[in-house]
Amino acid sequence: MSISQRVDIPGKANHNKSYAEAVESLQLSENPIPQYIPVAGPQGPQGPQGARGAEGPKGDKGEKGERGLKGDKGDSGENGRDGKDGKDAIPPSGQLPGWASYINKDTACNIVGLSRGNDGWSQVVIDKRNILINKDFLPKTSVDLWNVETQRLNFKRLKVGAKVSVTYDFNITTYSNNTEIWIRTVFPESNISYTQFVANLKYQYSYDFSVTQHIYLNTEKMTTESPLVEVRSDFDSEFLIKSITVHVS
């Protein structure tokens, strides 16, 4: 195969030049083409103000229209029905609402981690010597919703079909980066667990959390069984439960 050598063609632009070289060669041309740019001249002086025109005549006032006829009086509506006795405000389960809070006055932390508890699940406890209980708003006929002796939630005397919302306020201090935290409410006999992933904590730090779980008591056994609360961390951490608030509806 023959190989031809590339040569510049007379009169044709040389595309081997860089863009900068092409611009520079144009600027250094011996016979640059003159360019004329129109430039606006200075603004002339302002002319004298013209005389004010004469005011036009005032228009005539229009005639007053006739007054419309008075509309007919509408019929009065029927009287409303008498209110009910309020029983419809109670949930279908018949459970009266209420709540109670259990505050931990102790500031000592517990160590949690995969090497602790049951497969990393450590039970949440509030020492009965350091607990502050607010049960002024418990549901009628209900007992304490937290048993300080067994360290478990207590749903006895609640009705089947009731909704229980439990809020856990706690502090976690991590020793390692990227520590995962989980919390759960367990009915061991019924084999029911409300498990919730809390967070993946990126840095070694002290964190405050408020986690709420909604529990529906759909069997008689769930009302008599006392569920326990557990927390799990994949690395050793310091855990402090600050309060447990239980709301029933």
Tens digits of residue pLDDT in 63-117:
887 887 887 777 777 776 766 665 656 778 889 999 999 999 999 999 999 999 9
Q: Identity (one letter) of the amino acid at 132?
A: L
Tens digits of residue pLDDT in 188-217:
999 999 999 999 999 999 999 999 999 999
Among candidate residues 219, 229, 156, the one with its CA nearest the CA of residue 188: 229
The answer to whether 243 touches 135, Cβ cutoff 8 Å, is no
Residue 31, domain member (yes or no): no
Q: How far apart are CA 126 and CA 148, in angstroms?
A: 7
Residue 23, domain member (yes or no): no
Which H/E stretch holds residue 133?
strand 131-134
Question: Measuring CA to CA, how many Å separate 149 from each of 101, 118, 129?
Answer: 16, 21, 11
Number of domains in the chain: 1
| pLDDT recorded at residue 36 | 62
Residue 68, domain member (yes or no): no
Q: How far apart are CA 24 and CA 214, in angstroms?
A: 76
What's the average model confidence in pLDDT over 150-174?
97
Residue 49, domain member (yes or no): no
Neighbour-count burial for 146-170, b at 16+ CB within 10 Å, e otherwise: bebeebbbbbeebbeebbbebebbb
Among candidate residues 183, 67, 172, 23, the one with its CA nearest the CA of residue 110: 172
Residue 57, domain member (yes or no): no
Residue 58, domain member (yes or no): no
183: buried, middle or exposed (CB in 10 Å: 19+, 13-18, 0-12)? Answer: buried
Q: How far apart are CA 163 and CA 237, in angstroms?
A: 32
Residue 12, domain member (yes or no): no
End-to-end CA distance of the chain: 93
Whole domain around residue 195: which residue ranges?
Answer: 97-248
φ and ψ at 114, to 5 degrees?
-65, -25
What's the CATH code of the domain at 153?
2.60.120.1120
Residue 33, domain member (yes or no): no
Tens digits of residue pLDDT in 29-69:
555 556 666 767 777 788 788 788 788 788 788 788 788 78
